[in-house]
Structure 1
Amino acid sequence: MNGGEQLLRGRVYGHDHDDPNPGPLPHRTYAELVGGPLDGLLLDIHRWRTVEVDDGVALVTELGRFPGGRALYDPRLGEPRTPGPGVSCRFYYSGETL
């Protein structure tokens, strides 16, 4: 794991690296991002409906093949989800787009 990857691990997507508390909050629900440029980040999915989680996400990033583009992450069909606060599920890298 390089230094950039270590900076991302355990942080919440959208929080700056110099944020005094870039980590998860105990009362929120998160998806762990697996693979790709945002590997190791947590995505806040608190209060998302099941259909929203099922749709996956396209997240803006400067770290991918297309700086300023979007990294695509999707849940895996049939993978269990844990209800409630904490890490509820995983979203897996599926590609990038402009």
Structure 2
Amino acid sequence: MDEVIRRRVYGADHDDPDPGPRPGREYRELVGGPLDGLLIDVTGWSAERLAEGALLPTEIGRYGHGGRADYGPRPDDPRLWDWRGDTP
């Protein structure tokens, strides 16, 4: 039997006892970069917004506090969002 891995959602508090995905929500997996392996909640996003990706605030990227990590959909599998770099 395969073990289910409970994934952490971007933006969940570090002390949240259940930082994983919630039923009824839609997620994308972040691949590479400082947020590798996290999920981002995209529930309610338009097709255009999903195609753009997101600049996600993070303190663990190249620019530290105030920096953002740029993620966008993988062309052959839009459920995965690849890291495109960091920005101040």
**Do Structure 1 and Structure 2 share a fold, with TM-score over 0.5?**
yes
Equivalent of 1:42 in 18, 39, 44:
39
What is aligned with 2:3? none
**Structure 1: how far apart are the matches of 2:8 and 2:45?**
19
3-state DSSP of counterpart to 1:59: strand
Contiguous gaps of at least 5 residues in structure 1: 1-8, 82-88
Could you list the structure 1 runs, at least 4 aligned residues long, displaced by more than 2 angstroms after superposition. Answer: none
The structure whose RCO (Cα within 8 Å, separation 6+) is larger is 1
2:80 pairs with 1:90: yes
Q: What count of residue pairs does the alignment treat as equivalent?
A: 82
- The percentage of aligned residue pairs carrying the same residue is 52
Residues 11-51 of structure 1, C-alpha deviation per residue, up to 9 Å, x if partnerless?
A: 11111121121000121000100000000000000011110
The one-letter amino acid paired with 1:70 is: R
- 1:11-30 equivalences in 2 (<5 Å): 11-30=8-27
Deviation (angstroms), 1:80: 4.0
* Root-mean-square deviation (Å): 1.4
Normalised by the size of structure 2, how large is the TM-score? 0.87
Q: Deviations over 1:64-89 (max 9, x none)?
A: 11112000001122x245xxxxxxx1
Q: Which has more helix, going by share of residues?
A: 1
